Structure 1
Amino acid sequence: MRFIFITVLVGLQSLLSVVAQPLDYYFSDTIKFNPDIAKPSEVLGYEVGEWHVRHDQLVEYLRVLAKQSERIKIETIGYSHEKRPLLLLTISNKEQLENIDAIRKNHIDKLNSTEQKHSDPAIVWMGYSVHGNESSGSNAAMLVAYYLAAAQGEEIDKLLANTVILLDPSLNPDGLARFAQWANSNRGAVLSPDPMHREHVEAWPSGRTNHYFFDLNRDWLLLQHPESRARVAQFHKWKPNVLTDFHEMGPNSTYFFQPGIPSRTHPLTPTKNVELTNELAKFHAKALDGQKQLYFTQESFDDFYYGKGSTYPDINGAVGILFEQASSRGHIQNTANGVLDFSQTIKNQLTTSLSTFDGALSNKLALLNYQRQFYQEAKKLAKEDDFKGYIVSADGDHQKFSAFLDVLKQHQIETYPLQENFKTYTVGDVFIPLEQPQYRLLKALFSEQTTFKDNTFYDVSGWTLAHAFNLPFEKLGSTRNLKLAKQPWSPSQTKQQKNLETAYAYGFSWRQYNSAKMLNFLLSEGIKARVALSEFSAATKTGTLQFELGSIIIPAGVQSKPQWLQVLNYAQNHFDIDITAIQSGLTTQGIDLGSRFMQPVEAPKVLLVGGEGVSQYEVGEVWYHLDKHLGIAPTLVEQSRLPTVRLENYTHIIMVDGRYDHFNDPLTAKIKDWVKHGGVIWGHKRGAKWLLDNQLLKASSISSKEMAEQFDTTNLVYQDRDKLSAKQRIAGAIFATQVDLSHPLSFGLQRSLLPVFKNSTWLLKPAQQPFVTVATYTKAPLMAGYSAPENVAKIAENASLVAHRYGQGSVIAMTDNPVFRGYWYGTSKLLNNALFFGALLTEQGR
């Protein structure tokens, strides 16, 4: 009995000790540190790895280091959605730090030089924990900063003399804070290694994502969030030679670093980039070998999608390196490789941080020369290309167009407005010349590639920016007769203030992107508005004006809010949308303003279903869209709480992709009754499938199983399973749909062709009755990205968007996510229309 007690006690002490490690656990005893520089434990009150560091603690420690060390300059480059500071530490020796602006300028100037000096420092960007629940990175960042601030000796002196290190300790502060709170609040004094323990199984939504549940590691190209915009601005300010991106993966894995799978590198990435990646890999292997740590390199992951932190550098003259550490997902966990503790995961990230420094130092001149050649080759490659650039139309929506151009500008891509009409393009549209430093990135953003050397993708295979914004564009083989502005496009800084005079009614177009946001504001302010279900022409002070389908009309005679005209004046100036005064209710052509085809609209009250089983990404994307682009605060309810919610308080329910396991028969009956009495329900992907399975949606489908079974598996061997899986899935491609422009769900669209983003194989068939199918895939629908020919043929001419009445309410279903990653401005208009005009449908489902 006494032996058992001692054994258990020793075991418990062992579990406790593995995460409370002193500095000599992390660093070699050959490294000497300046005793005047604070150790992490002296600020945090605990050893690194004993607890998950909170973001505020991380910020506090790094600011202490910056005060104590003459090697560190710290700045706040922006703020997260939750207003946490985004820190960037610039680290070098004292002499270089005192002259840092000149060093940065010299580094940028050398991109156009034919000569590189051996004395020029390499710029190394160290980025940690873009996924907040992969927190070993940010915890290791403290140790990296301490090493750079306090280490002494010839080795650190040489490093700091030959590099400028930019340290981004937390790429996702909001997610890191969320996860640290979870992991710390669910651990005990005696740690539990059981993977089923609550500490290791996060609640929905996880700390992987930012405030709006977005994966920030997919936002480097798209730039929809302040974290990404601040980071990319600094990236281009400095143009680093190496950028590291520290992640975690499943607990039962080991450690990964690139090069990754050679065949899954984007073809626009130069071969020399891959060679340098392999050179740096030798240093990581040596360092991990020295610590007897298991790792792998040329399997899994890829370097294809340029919107990831480890791949964006590759299209910008740098070398991006992805690191993936097996995750303890807490403080200690049993894994296939034995007990994994948090301290070990941190140590591995520190080890490869230091090996990155060694590799960058040894390959300094090669890295500097490569980057210089990368940008100098751009001009030559552009001249040799078979076209001169892209011409892009605003398509009548200057707000959406400005958002598109602003993304390009942040990537340092220059665009030039047309000064005269050209073919079908008009003044204000833009030409984007290939001949500019960002030649490769420009081609990547406009790529419509559909065939690939390797058809297996870790992330999306198509991301054409103009398609996402639903903007017509084409390649130009010649710029003859093209009259362009001398200066590149930049956002307008001045807005002319406009004031409305007394009139019979007022109207504005639904074409502009901010129209929906302005309408919601007006409705919320008590302004009564109607939507035109038919075109008409009306007299204004400047002449007769044509009003399109979906135009919003505000009759003066029905307004009851005091000073309502002042609200209109504020709105048109604030949202930058012209409101036109209409002189009479008798129109010159089409319906009159009192017509039955002028239907009242109401402010949406949206219930957004989330919770366990539902995609946190898609919930976040819808939430972000409603919040940012419409000014709507949805009520976010976990599906487990839905039975207790009074549905009559809402006009709309939105169901995104997910498993709706908590929807039992009583809840389903409750939702059906709510729709019958006037509610509007929207579902996309598996949200739409739930509508179909529960007979709210009167349609038929093609299942994902049926799509998968169309592939011939005869004579396949075991090693073919990944190739088969790659063919069966749609990793993320762009498809063309044909839209009924007369339908209320299409109001504001200018073309019947509407690109959609697709990453699901579940399909809807077109409805047999007319007026129910709003959008169908075209006969040859694949526009960009990879999809197996069998899938493309099956998708062709099937339905993308179906909508009909259900009792007094409406059911709307889409096979795809209209607000994917926040940048699909084109299809997001469909969701906007469902919110404001979804109750106006007239056709019953059968």
Structure 2
Amino acid sequence: MLKKLLLAVLFIGTTVSAQDYFFKKYHPFNSDIPSPEEFLGYTIGQHHTRHDLIVAYLTKLAETSDRASIHEYGKTHEGRKLVILTVTSPSNLKNLDQIKSQHLQFVDPKQSPTNYNDVPIFVNLGYNVHGNEPSSSEAAMLAAYTLTASNHPEILNYINNGVIFIDPTINPDGRDRHTQWANMYQGSPLVADPQDAEHNEYWPRGRTNHYWFDLNRDWLLGINPESRGKLTWYHQWYPNVVTDFHEMGTQSSYFFEPMKDNASWDPIMPKENYIDLNNLFGDYFAKALDSIGSFYFTKEVFDGTYPGYGSSYPDLQGGLALLFEQASSRGHKQTTAFGEITFPFTIRNQYVSSIATVKAAVENKAQLRKYQQDFFKSALTNASKSRIKGYTFRDDHDPNRVKAFVDKLLLHKVDVYRTGNQFVVPTRQPQYRMVQTMFETYEKYRDSVYYDASAWSVANFYNMKYNTVSNLNLGEQITSLDNLVNPNAVSKTDYAYIMDYDDYNAVAALHYLQSKGLVVSSSFKPFTAKTTTGNQRFNYGALVVAVSLQKKDSDEVYKLVQQAQQKFQVPIFAAATGYNAAGIDLGSRYVEPVTKPKAALLIGDGVRSYDAGEVWHLLDTRVHMPITKIPMRNFGGANLDKYNTLVMVSGNYDLSKKQQEKIKNWVSKGNTLITIGTASKWAIEKKLVKERLTEKEKDSTKLVVRKPYVDAPEHLGKESVGGGIFKVDLDITHPLAFGYHDTSIPVYKNNSVWLAPSKNEYATVAKYAKNPHIDGFITKKNMEDFLKPSASLIVSKVGSGRVVLFADNPNFRGSWYGTNRLFLNALFLGDKIEIPE
């Protein structure tokens, strides 16, 4: 291996030999098509390549090769292009529409073609979903060049019998963040010392996208444009094989599938996928890597239990998803326990695996095609065997949250129908396994240690109350989101407008009106108003815009209210009197003006970037509200008096005593501190609040039973809470719970933060239910000793202010529509919370 590492360095020196380090065996190449080195002006691996240059190079290949075309399937948050280069033989490329039509017949369970060997196999080579795992995008250029320019008989066979879709950079924003870093600190000569700046990015690092989301968890959730664009493309083509190239710790070697066993008790993907096909392809990868002397391992880690990876989602679409993990050079060259690892060496392993994937797919195309055909046919067969014939769901109080859930179903091509206000999802459909993913919950597992979440029933993410049905009344099929939400247009009044606060978009509408200068009040008790369209009952939190109390005339107020309704599709009513039919009147002391949030968020070293990004994303994209992001390095000099709300998400906060006092004094002035996860634990441990953590006394008399050392990681790992869904009892009269009707809601827990219920009887907003388990793995010890006795959300008084402590993340992965409101209420209504002594 050392010899190979050294060659990677030595070969950078000369042009021809440097290129031959990667693809000497595939000569001759078409001289009219530029190599990456000729186009870029440097050898692959000599520098990290910017995304725009990668796109430019693939565009050049499409221009100069009759084997290739390029397609833009979306743009990132920062406006970078998301592209796929399609490579196949010239004749296949000319007839691609016809080939696609033939291919899709195998995906349609109503058809039964048997010409498995006659249709080119579809292979999607996907690279660089984690931006600071850069070797694969460089390998993508090498693979693209080989497939478009090589005239070697092997390559000609591959393009004649396959259509290869090369997605060079799934996360361009993160990649460019890392590329800038690596090139900025690149030395000449190269510095291999692991402590050098080149090998140690600053926060938030390049792994994530613009909003610091891990896009390799977003295939199922489909929150970001990168994922939504790829999913839309995916469901147009249904590739047979999909690669997912990654990097891992520098001290490791190389991983390819088969993975660690799936932890589900009864995995919904067929065994043929993760046993037969994985082992079949594994033989190809082993042979290819053996030929260049690379070491590797399989089966030990990286389970595909969670269905939202690039290496698991395609498995639920009749494809074979393949994970690769390369030990990272984290720069251009780095010293390891095995010698020096170089960037070119890491690239070559990814390149060799790419070509081996195409080879394996082409040589087994009949088996792969029949497998995909059987996959979708078995979806109907399996559904027919199940006693559950469908799922129904509805929420008459919150149509925009329902709309968001329907959008998620449609994104994954799940058939949805509507009868009145009720939606129906039949199980007998080609996407039956996605239906299972959306609705089924589990409590029995084969394993207890997970690479990621052990629960993902998406309906619970949306707090969607659903039921199983054995008889179906489908009604009208929903094919788009158009007309799903149609509130009656608000009429003009000179007295007051009342907005229903139950709708998910109500907070965004509230902020819109505040940003336009209107004073908006919130009702702290329900009432029934005499509106111009009849009596209307309003829940806790209903928003009131009193026309005569505004600094604008009634026409301007009406125009703004109209704009808010049209923009966010929320129910708004006009009232000509403040004398309500039932409950409090509009002039009640229980109707209080809402303070416009001036919010700040701590970011930087020690802060969990995922959680911080989720807050930023929620406010940016759904509430359209700015939030100031204060780096930890600047906190000492920051003037907190500019803000009335401060957010601290999970992290390890290394704040001095003086800085802790700064926060406490600021809260005491009447402001609101919102803490999430380990930040809540920190606030308790640093005595910012007089609350406690749930602790279980250790039995000092209990004998220690010796266990095998080799089992330690598994035994210790299962004690962590890897991600489960649990039920809480919610006080819906509390301002933090305004907008909810049901006292029982699901929350997502992926930490070991156990908050003891507050000693103040009015301060515990949400406590885990008596029987809390909904979905996911948790040990009996964690369930009985910690979860059941604990609270999920409490508020603690500090002087004239308060700290809102979330044990669980209400904004997890941008997908928890069901608990976002708890967090948003803390922002908008926090200062209205009075905690009786």
1:673 aligns to what? Answer: 665
Q: Structure 1: state its 5+ residue gaps.
A: 1-9, 419-426
For 1:125-524, list aligned pairs within 5 A: 125-264=124-263, 267-274=267-274, 275-418=276-419, 427-479=420-472, 482=473, 484-492=474-482, 498=489, 500-524=491-515
1:6 aligns to what? Answer: none
Tell me, yes or no, if structure 1 residue 116 matches structure 2 residue 107: no
Tell me, yes or no, if structure 1 residue 762 matches structure 2 residue 760: no
Does structure 2 retain, via aligned residues, the 8 Å contact 1:215–1:617?
yes
Does structure 1 retain, via aligned residues, the 8 Å contact 2:105–2:112?
no
Tell me, yes or no, if structure 1 residue 811 matches structure 2 residue 810: no
The RMSD of aligned alpha carbons is 2.1
What is the one-letter code of the residue matched to 2:571?
Answer: D
Does structure 2 retain, via aligned residues, the 8 Å contact 1:19–1:341?
no
Q: Do the aligned partners of residues 395 and 545 (structure 1) sit closer, same or farther apart at CA in structure 2, a change above 3 Å counting? A: closer
Does structure 2 retain, via aligned residues, the 8 Å contact 1:804–1:841?
no
Q: Give 1:710 deviation, angstroms.
A: 13
Cα distance in 1 for residues equivalent to 2:706 and 2:552: 74
Secondary structure of the residue aligned to 2:212 is coil
Q: Structure 2: state its 5+ residue gaps.
A: 1-5
Tell me, yes or no, if structure 1 residue 534 matches structure 2 residue 533: no
Summarize deviations over 1:591-636 as a string: whole Å, max 9, x none.
2222111111022111101111110101101111111121111111
Does structure 2 retain, via aligned residues, the 8 Å contact 1:609–1:637?
yes
Q: Give 1:285 deviation, angstroms.
A: 0.2
Summarize deviations over 1:375-420 as a string: whole Å, max 9, x none.
01111111111211111122521101111111111111011112xx
Q: Give 1:694 deviation, angstroms.
A: 2.6
1:575 aligns to what? Answer: 568
Does structure 2 retain, via aligned residues, the 8 Å contact 1:264–1:457?
yes
Q: TM-score, normalised by structure 1?
A: 0.94
1:774 aligns to what? Answer: 765
Does structure 2 retain, via aligned residues, the 8 Å contact 1:18–1:343?
no
Does structure 1 retain, via aligned residues, the 8 Å contact 2:26–2:151?
no
Does structure 2 retain, via aligned residues, the 8 Å contact 1:15–1:190?
no
Does structure 2 retain, via aligned residues, the 8 Å contact 1:20–1:48?
no
For 1:4-23, list aligned pairs within 5 A: 17=13, 22-23=18-19
What is the one-letter code of the residue matched to 1:557?
Answer: S
2:708 aligns to what? Answer: 717
Q: Give 1:263 deviation, angstroms.
A: 4.6
Tell me, yes or no, if structure 1 residue 32 matches structure 2 residue 33: no
Tell me, yes or no, if structure 1 residue 564 matches structure 2 residue 531: no
What is the one-letter code of the residue matched to 1:227?
Answer: E
2:87 aligns to what? Answer: 91
Summarize deviations over 1:327-370 as a string: whole Å, max 9, x none.
00100000122100000000000000011011111111000000
Cα distance in 1 for residues equivalent to 2:790 and 2:552: 47
Cα distance in 1 for residues equivalent to 2:301 and 2:105: 37
Q: Do the aligned partners of residues 195 and 209 (structure 1) sit closer, same or farther apart at CA in structure 2, a change above 3 Å counting? A: same
Match for residue 78 of structure 1 among 74, 77, 101: 74
What is the one-letter code of the residue matched to 1:115?
Answer: P
What is the one-letter code of the residue matched to 2:791?
Answer: A
Cα distance in 1 for residues equivalent to 2:298 and 2:406: 38
Q: Do the aligned partners of residues 706 and 646 (structure 1) sit closer, same or farther apart at CA in structure 2, a change above 3 Å counting? A: farther
Further displaced range: 67-76 or 690-699: 690-699
Q: Give 1:708 deviation, angstroms.
A: 13
What is the one-letter code of the residue matched to 1:722?
Answer: P
Further displaced range: 753-762 or 29-38: 29-38
Tell me, yes or no, if structure 1 residue 551 matches structure 2 residue 542: yes
For 1:604-623, list aligned pairs within 5 A: 604-623=597-616
Summarize deviations over 1:307-327 as a string: whole Å, max 9, x none.
000000111100000000000
Cα distance in 1 for residues equivalent to 2:16 and 2:174: 24
Cα distance in 1 for residues equivalent to 2:716 and 2:93: 51
What is the one-letter code of the residue matched to 1:267?
Answer: P
Further displaced range: 537-546 or 295-304: 537-546
Q: Give 1:844 deviation, angstroms.
A: 5.0
2:637 aligns to what? Answer: 644
What is the one-letter code of the residue matched to 1:233?
Answer: T
1:694 aligns to what? Answer: 686
Does structure 2 retain, via aligned residues, the 8 Å contact 1:214–1:617?
yes
Cα distance in 2 for residues equivalent to 1:801 and 1:140: 47
1:421 aligns to what? Answer: none
Does structure 2 retain, via aligned residues, the 8 Å contact 1:21–1:50?
no
Tell me, yes or no, if structure 1 residue 842 matches structure 2 residue 834: yes
Does structure 2 retain, via aligned residues, the 8 Å contact 1:729–1:760?
yes
Secondary structure of the residue aligned to 1:28 is helix
Tell me, yes or no, if structure 1 residue 682 matches structure 2 residue 671: no
What is the one-letter code of the residue matched to 2:576?
Answer: Q
Does structure 1 retain, via aligned residues, the 8 Å contact 2:262–2:305?
no
Q: Give 1:47 deviation, angstroms.
A: 0.8
Does structure 2 retain, via aligned residues, the 8 Å contact 1:416–1:485?
yes
What is the one-letter code of the residue matched to 2:147?
Answer: L
Does structure 2 retain, via aligned residues, the 8 Å contact 1:497–1:573?
no
Cα distance in 1 for residues equivalent to 2:640 and 2:402: 38
Secondary structure of the residue aligned to 2:818 is helix
Does structure 1 retain, via aligned residues, the 8 Å contact 2:487–2:571?
no
Further displaced range: 209-218 or 408-417: 408-417
Does structure 1 retain, via aligned residues, the 8 Å contact 2:529–2:579?
yes
Cα distance in 2 for residues equivalent to 1:71 and 1:12: 30
Q: TM-score, normalised by structure 2?
A: 0.95
Cα distance in 2 for residues equivalent to 1:590 and 1:257: 65
Cα distance in 1 for residues equivalent to 2:7 and 2:91: 51
Match for residue 664 of structure 1 among 649, 656, 662: 656
Between the two proteins, the alignment pairs up a number of residues equal to 823
Further displaced range: 343-352 or 582-591: 582-591
2:3 aligns to what? Answer: none
Cα distance in 1 for residues equivalent to 2:764 and 2:701: 25
Does structure 1 retain, via aligned residues, the 8 Å contact 2:76–2:226?
yes
Does structure 2 retain, via aligned residues, the 8 Å contact 1:19–1:50?
no
Further displaced range: 792-801 or 245-254: 792-801
